[in-house]
Amino acid sequence: MRILAPFFVLACCSLGFSEHLEADQNILIPDHWAHMGRVRPTEEIELTFALRQQNLDRLEDLLLLVSDPSSPQYGKYLTLEEVTALVRPSQLTQKVVRQWLQSNGVSNCQTVLTQDFLQCSMTAQVAEAVLPGSEFHRYVSDDHSLVRSSSLYQVDGDVLQHIDFVGGVHRFPPKGQDLNEVLTKRRSEAKFHLGVTPAALRARYNLTATDVGSAQNNSQAVAQFLEQFYHPADLAEFMAMFGQGFQHRSDVDRVVGTQGGGKAGLEASLDIEYIMSTGANISTWVFSNAGRHESQEPFLQWLLLLSNMTDIPWVHTISYGDDEDSLSAAYMTRINVEFMKVGVRGISMLFASGDSGAGCKHLAKGGNCFRPSFPASSPYVTTVGGTSFKNPFKITYEVTDSISGGGFSNIFKMPDYQVGAVEAYLKAQSALPPKTYFNTSGRAYPDLAALSDNYWVVSDRIPIPWVSGTSASTPVVGGILALINDQRFRKGLPSLGFLNPRLYQLKGRGLFDVRPSAL
Ligand SMILES: *[C@@H]1O[C@H](CO)[C@@H](O)[C@H](O)[C@H]1NC(C)=O
Ligand SMILES: *[C@@H]1O[C@H](CO)[C@@H](O)[C@H](O)[C@H]1NC(C)=O
Ligand SMILES: *[C@@H]1O[C@H](CO)[C@@H](O)[C@H](O)[C@H]1NC(C)=O
Ligand SMILES: *[C@@H]1O[C@H](CO)[C@@H](O)[C@H](O)[C@H]1NC(C)=O
Ligand SMILES: *[C@@H]1O[C@H](CO)[C@@H](O)[C@H](O)[C@H]1NC(C)=O
């Protein structure tokens, strides 16, 4: 493949040469997926084409203006229609891409309201012709089956500048956090402790009985991508056990996507039970496993949904991430734009910072470095880390939870809103890891943290203690943001939207540094 590249440069655009869009995408098959062989040429595949958008500089400027309290445009959010008018691909781009697909016999395509994605179904044989170099195979893990290409794809030189990436070719869903593994480990460590319940959270974060939602239009959501389901009966039982002392709901208002049968997922149960405990009495949605075709990428499908719905909740919390170094820069850059499109609408996106600390990449001997995770490292989401009670028997102050993910992006440069905070932090530290381990020119995360240790969760009708991870702190923070939105709506103010510029301006007011547990 690489040998072709110089030829392409010489012959570009006249001889129909192809080139890679995502040459840096990791195509190793994750361990837990078993290879089942090449798919038949006649099998249907769905590919998602991310069309090149327009006015991205303007989008970024606008996002920062509407999110900055010191700007006269603060809170003047865009509708999805206005976002479309701004970013929609040029007529030329739409024409070139459609003609290219049609000339390959691909005609069954659907778009989204913002017109910047095309999702098309075609046979494997056609897909391999549209994307030279690709070869589609089936992989299975537990009872899930996926279709992915075992080799990198190229696209025609003429369409190269009109497409950001093609979805459904490479990326496997990241392995979910094995909460059960954590459970077993914790069980042997902690004998007795208080455990985190809605009452403990509401006490610690000073939420009184009147701190519940009451604004008509308020809403919050959690999203799941790893075949995880919540059970309405678990939520009801959880609220019956732990919902005393504050008005709350015990039902989800809307499920977007498909809820499977079978056992409830611990992760899904955790998310929904806790966002509805801090964001109490607020309408709650679940985005569940968007993308059910074997060749779709569920996370990408969820982003397509957000670009295809005019009315979506104000706060979204997501516990999902991948190593930055396993994803192509083209993919991450485009997904980052999708976050801007959401933020400029006044919607808050919260991502868990991950549960592997700074992460670790083993390079040559003596050359190890930390391993940032995406989307946690996107400058246009709010990333949530984890803490634990200093004294696990009491509602005391918090220290860092050792598992809490954090670090610096190697892809996204440090956004202006956090430069001061990060410089001050780095200067104040007496003992930092070797400088070669991390890249201080990148976006630093997390932005916020909350308790992430020893939660009680009801899953499959059983109350389970010791559930831990930043997937616990993220919905808790999401619910609190939704409560603040609620107060703002009641005063006729707009939602908080993309939080970070405002967050870092708070400095000492309302926010403080969490100390390491060892100090
Ligand atoms: C977007 O929504 C429209 C209208 O509901 C639908 O026809 C279309 O299939 C959706 N697009 C995708 C990619 O699902
Ligand atoms: C809760 O309120 C008390 C008393 O005003 C204060 O000391 C404490 O810091 C507050 N807790 C948090 C987490 O802000
Ligand atoms: C709960 O929310 C509803 C609106 O959804 C509101 O009418 C009711 O007053 C709220 N309850 C409390 C205690 O604020
Ligand atoms: C807000 O409430 C109005 C009236 O009930 C409804 O039409 C609208 O869709 C709501 N908006 C959101 C974002 O929920
Ligand atoms: C460090 O981060 C910057 C982005 O801020 C990036 O351009 C650069 O390539 C990164 N360096 C390494 C060694 O990854």
Ligand nearest to the backbone CA of 443: 5
CA of 214 to the centre of ligand 3 (A): 4
Q: Which residues lie with the beta carbon below 6 Å from any ligand 4 atom?
A: 216-217, 219, 311
- Closest ligand 1 atom to the C-alpha of 119? 13
277 in helix, strand or coil? helix
Q: Which residue's C-alpha comes closest to atom 8 of ligand 5?
A: 410
CA of 307 to the centre of ligand 4 (A): 18
pLDDT in tens, 481-498: 999 999 999 999 999 999
Q: Which residue's C-alpha comes closest to atom 1 of ligand 3?
A: 214
pLDDT at 260: 76
Q: Is the CB of 214 under 6 A from ligand 3?
A: yes
CA of 80 to the centre of ligand 3 (A): 28
CA of 281 to the centre of ligand 1 (A): 31
267 tagged catalytic:
yes
Q: What is the DSSP string of 458-496?
A: EETTEEEEEE-SHHHHHHHHHHHHHHHHHHHHHTTPPP-
Direct distance between the N- and C-terminal alpha carbons of the chain, in angstroms, rounded to an integer: 53
- Any idea where the domains of the chain sit in the sequence? 19-53+88-167, 179-506
pLDDT in tens, 150-180: 999 999 999 999 999 999 999 998 876 656 5
Q: Per-residue confidence at 1, pLDDT binned at 50, 70, 90?
A: very low
Q: Which residue's C-alpha comes closest to atom 2 of ligand 2?
A: 206
pLDDT in tens, 225-269: 887 889 999 999 999 999 999 999 999 999 998 777 777 889 899
Q: Is the CB of 212 under 6 A from ligand 3?
A: yes
Q: Is the CB of 304 under 6 A from ligand 1?
A: yes
How many H-runs (helices) and E-runs (strands) does the chain carry?
14, 23
Q: Which residue's C-alpha comes closest to atom 8 of ligand 2?
A: 206
pLDDT at 186: 58
Question: Token pair of 81, please?
Answer: 């229609």
378 tagged catalytic:
no
> What are the contacts of 187-192 at 24+ separation with CB within 8 A?
187/466, 190/392, 190/454, 190/466, 192/393
What is the C-alpha separation between 353 and 338, in angstroms, rounded?
19
The pTM (predicted TM-score) of the whole model is: 0.94
CA of 216 to the centre of ligand 3 (A): 8
Ligand 1 pocket, mutate which of 80, 111, 112, 301 (most atoms under 8 A from CB)? 112
- Rounded to 5 degrees, φ, ψ at 453 are -125, 135
pLDDT in tens, 185-229: 555 555 556 799 999 999 999 999 999 999 999 999 999 888 788
Q: Which residue's C-alpha comes closest to atom 5 of ligand 1?
A: 308
CA of 8 to the centre of ligand 1 (A): 36
Q: Is the CB of 112 under 6 A from ligand 1?
A: yes
Q: What residue has token string 């028997």?
A: 393
- Closest ligand 4 atom to the C-alpha of 313? 13
Catalytic: which of 156, 164, 211, 267? 267
Q: Per-residue confidence at 382, pLDDT binned at 50, 70, 90?
A: very high
Q: Which architecture characterizes domain 179-506 according to CATH?
A: 3-Layer(aba) Sandwich (3.40)
